Chains A and B, each alone.
Chain A
Amino acid sequence: MSPLDGVTPAAESAPLIELHQVSKIYGSGTAEVRALDGVDLRIQEGEFVAVMGPSGSGKSTAMNILGCLDTPTLGSYRFRGVPVESLDRNQRALLRRHYLGFVFQGFNLLNRTSALENVELPLIYRRTPSAERHALARQALAMVGLTGWEHHTPSELSGGQQQRVAIARAMVTQPSLLLADEPTGNLDTARSHEIMELLIGLNRERAITVLMVTHEADMAAYAHRVIHFLDGRVADVIQPGAEA
């Protein structure tokens, strides 16, 4: 059975993400606010893209739409060729379950729940049998360097460790796209670079496309591409690789 009832992602040749003239409008008339205003964007499978921009520039709105948590008011968003704006709430949940992974600035782990169980959570919704679930979750934690910390709860872990658990949770399902919203925003520089190394590793070794919002230029420097948002529009696209 297709995880997306009747909406199987189309050919591999299509870009992973394709935004065409996407706008998100709140309110109406004179009170109208355009959080996004006609954004065009293409991201190919395997890319590592950083998104930068001041507060209110629309980058969070864009991330919510790209993460299928929200829908555009106007325009179209195709995820592997599937028009996301035509999916209902449950279909979008299934798309997130099977193709997306999330890493947040505030970690967003379940409190009073062990690291292992936090990582198992997406597998539970995927109906993975429990033995396989435990094994996969342990592997994921080992990959982020948290072997031995499986049974600690978030309150017993440092910020950097919590973010590693969150990354393990996001990648345990082998998603196509990992959305990271300021993943290093709450961490010191050393921890930040460790997290970036993890994300780079996922991108290179597991071919997971990474889309990351950040305020810090040295974090953005890890990306293949940096997209700047300003006033709800894509202002600028820089290829750091080309500069270096």
Chain B
Amino acid sequence: MLWNALLLALREIRRNILRSVLTILGIVIGVAAVIVMVTLGDGATRQVTQQIESLGSNLLMIRVGQRMGPGQRSNAPAFSLSDALAIRRDVSSARAVAPSSSASLTAVVGNRSWSTTISGTDNAYFDVRNWELESGRMFSTGDLRGGRSVCVIGATVRRELFGAMDPIDQNIRLKSMACQVVGLLRAKGQSTMGMDQDDLVLMPLRTYQRRIAGNQDVNLIQVSVRDGVSTEETTKELERLLRERRNISASEDDDFSVRDLKEITKMLTGTTRVLTALLTAVAAVSLLVGGIGIMNIMLVSVTERTREIGIRLAIGALEREVLLQFLVEAVALSSLGGILGILLALGASLGLTRLLNVPFVFNGGIVLIAFFFSAAVGVIFGYFPARRAARLDPIEALRRE
């Protein structure tokens, strides 16, 4: 019976193909909108997560001063290399510790110049920030101890200053110093906040302190935490150690801050989720409107087919058999809308993710939910017209022209 009802429904849909398509347009758009929203949301979340992960896994960033509002300045003293060495020695959960100081400077090669960020640091930096070398080498022990004028450059700096030329062993002029390029970093691409991660020049910390900054300051200590150790615990350990080294009494606040990248990831993905949920809710409203469209057309269909219903009832169709027939038709219509919506959504998602440069994340769950939801819309909005058909009086129905 169900099979027959399905065949009948499909035939009825095919007979009124234009009307059927117009009827299910609401469902198609609703389903497509929901899936596209969720797919783009998932893609954005994935992108944020990936970008933050590319900064380094389990990364803690220790800076001088607390996060301050605009206009406020911290007069807390900078870190020194010995702080970083103390962390390396005393905090066992720290896998790598990279002290660094940086400044914005203009780098010059021949007649080309490029404003970039110069950081003095050591080889731990490559570790904590997940940098890999495209060519050349990292810093040698001699470079680091002797404060030699060598540097490793990012892909953007290479492009701007050297073009396609091989930068290794070439010299870059920074302020009054010339430094020799010994390594080229592999490109990472855009960062979360739209900053270019590849726009940087690295040199040994000692070289930076002597030749660029003229002091012994370390502004940033980046710590990568061992796998399996919670960043919260390590954060507490770091805070304890630094408070002690900086002689902060129990009543005083920290004059430095430890930021956990995981926290930032959570915050950003959380925001994306809320936005996705809101947009999805708006899209879901169109599913409801689509359902009303189906009810409308099913009511018209019942009226048009009154005579047919009369014939069926007269030759012995039961109320529930007529009900089933019309309900199946409504569900077939709405499910068809669901399927078309899913196809449309997959096409649109592929196009939009490419356009917005967001990874395409296929979410099978939402596709299934959307399909079942569209079928449910058919059941809910098809029931009333179907019941009207089933309750017709066969004598009246046969008399109708």
Contacts and interface: CB of A to CB of B under 8 A. Distances in A.
Contacts of A125: 312, 315-318, 321
Given A112-B15, A127-B1, A69 B395 contact: yes
Interface residues of A, number: 27
A226 to B, nearest CB: 24
A126 B318 CA distance: 11
A151 to B, nearest CB: 14
Interface in A81-100: 89-90, 93-98, 100
Contacts of A79: none
Interface stretch (A102-110, A155-163, A195-203, A228-236): A102-110
Given A64-B395, A108-B398, A97 B308 contact: no
Interface residues of B, number: 19
A180 B310 CA distance: 16
A110 B12 CA distance: 12
Q: Which of A70, A96, A109, A127 has the most CB of B within 10 A?
A: A96
Nearest to B391: A89
B390 to A, nearest CB: 10
A122 interface: yes
A43 B78 CA distance: 114
Given A69-B394, A110-B308, A169 B319 contact: no
Contacts of A169: 315
B313 interface: yes
A111 to B, nearest CB: 8
A154 to B, nearest CB: 12
A102 B398 CA distance: 12
A70 B319 contact: no
Given A69-B394, A89-B319, A90-B319, A121 B312 contact: yes
A90 B318 CA distance: 6
Contacts of A108: 307, 310-311, 314, 398
A94 B318 contact: yes
Nearest to B1: A127
B4 interface: yes
Contacts of B315: 96-97, 102, 121-122, 125, 169
A108 B15 CA distance: 20
Contacts of B4: 124
Q: Which of B15, B308, B311 has the most CB of A within 10 A?
A: B311
Interface in B272-331: 307-308, 310-319, 321
B325 to A, nearest CB: 11
Interface in A103-152: 104, 108-112, 121-122, 124-127
A98 B319 CA distance: 16
A121 B316 CA distance: 10
Q: Which of B1, B318, B394, B398 has the most CB of A within 10 A?
A: B394
Interface string A53-67: 000000000001001
Contact of A122 (B1, B316, B321, B398): B316
A95 to B, nearest CB: 8
Nearest to A179: B314
27 contacts: A64-B395, A67-B314, A69-B314, A70-B395, A89-B319, A90-B318, A93-B313, A93-B317, A93-B319, A95-B316, A96-B315, A97-B316, A100-B316, A102-B314, A108-B307, A108-B310, A108-B314, A108-B398, A112-B15, A121-B311, A121-B312, A121-B315, A122-B315, A124-B4, A125-B315, A125-B316, A125-B317
Interface of B: 1, 4, 15, 307-308, 310-319, 321, 394-395, 398
Given A90-B318, A93-B319, 19 more contacts: A64-B395, A70-B395, A89-B319, A93-B317, A95-B316, A96-B315, A96-B316, A98-B316, A104-B398, A108-B307, A108-B310, A108-B311, A121-B311, A121-B312, A122-B315, A124-B4, A125-B312, A125-B315, A125-B321
Interface of A: 64, 67, 69-70, 89-90, 93-98, 100, 102, 104, 108-112, 121-122, 124-127, 169
- 10 smallest beta-carbon distances between A and B, as pairs: A97-B316, A96-B316, A122-B315, A108-B311, A93-B318, A125-B316, A69-B394, A69-B395, A93-B316, A90-B318
